Structure 1
């Protein structure tokens, strides 16, 4: 079922909505799911639970990820540009080489995130409630 939804979403994006269907996974529990390399551009995962999910190399550009739970998720090389991560929980997430350009991190919790650099974080919009890991540099 999830595989079919991902295929329909990719078609929806490629055809600009004339075919397929946008992936709407609001509040869905995808903990431990293997979504490496998934094309989820502009998907709606608001409030989704992705604890320890494998999203390495996933394309989540422009997606609604508000209140999503990414604790200890594998997001290495993921594209999160312009994604809405407001109030998302990324504690302990693996973020090596993840792209955050133009992403919204207002209220997001990235404490204990692995592999996140100050340069990556500085590419995103943050506010006083954004919680970042301790950077070594």
Structure 2
């Protein structure tokens, strides 16, 4: 009876661990597999979904891969490891990137317009010149990220961690910034424009006094 009881308890504990342990990454993606998936995705895009297959890199490890100029519009990359990846000039418009790890990645001049980056880890990520128009970066970790000359028009940064972010020359027209964390006046004063941005009222008043050009209409 005692052995049976121990067996039942053991099975219960194993079941509980399986239910509460986060799902592990599928593993480091092989270059040949990536190439095959990208080819199928290109066909899927080119035929408007009639042929090929939408790329699904969900929970995969793509860290440190060279994916310059890659075509991943509308791709699924949720909860993926993309740390130290090279995605310069990549097309990731409308891609699903929620919860993915981009730590140390290079996304210089990448197209991330309309992309979903909610809860993504972008700490130390290079997003210089990136197109982030309409992107959702709510609750993302952008600490130490480079957003120099990036276009964040109508992007959502609600609750995002912006500690030590470089916003030099960034376009922040209509950007949701009111609940963004660790946002400072020196950081915002380096931006190119803040027209129509959703800022904390007190922060906005201070900036209007110190840098009124940020809110002036375009010529």
Residue matched to 1:55? 122
- The TM-score with structure 2 as length reference comes to 0.54
Residue matched to 1:9? 68
Structure 1 residue runs of 5 or longer lacking an equivalent are 11-19
Picking from 115, 119, 122, the partner of 2:186 is 119
Output the aligned Cα RMSD: 2.4
Residue matched to 1:103? 170
Between structure 1 and structure 2, the one with the greater Rg is 2
Query: How far apart, in 1, do the equivalents of 2:128 and 2:88 lie?
Result: 17
Corresponding position: 1:70 with 2:137: yes
Change (3 A) 1:44 1:120: same
- The TM-score with structure 1 as length reference comes to 0.84
Query: How far apart, in 1, do the equivalents of 2:178 and 2:88 lie?
Result: 35
Counting helix residues as a fraction of each chain, which structure ranks higher? 2
Higher relative contact order (CA 8 A, sep 6+): 1
Picking from 98, 104, 107, the partner of 1:37 is 104
Asked whether the 8 Å contact 1:6–1:40 carries over to 2, the reply is no
Query: How far apart, in 1, do the equivalents of 2:96 and 2:67 lie?
Result: 19
Alignment of 1:86-97 (within 5 A): 86-97=153-164
Structure 2 residue runs of 5 or longer lacking an equivalent are 1-33, 35-56, 70-86, 207-219
* Per-residue deviation, 1:6: 5.6
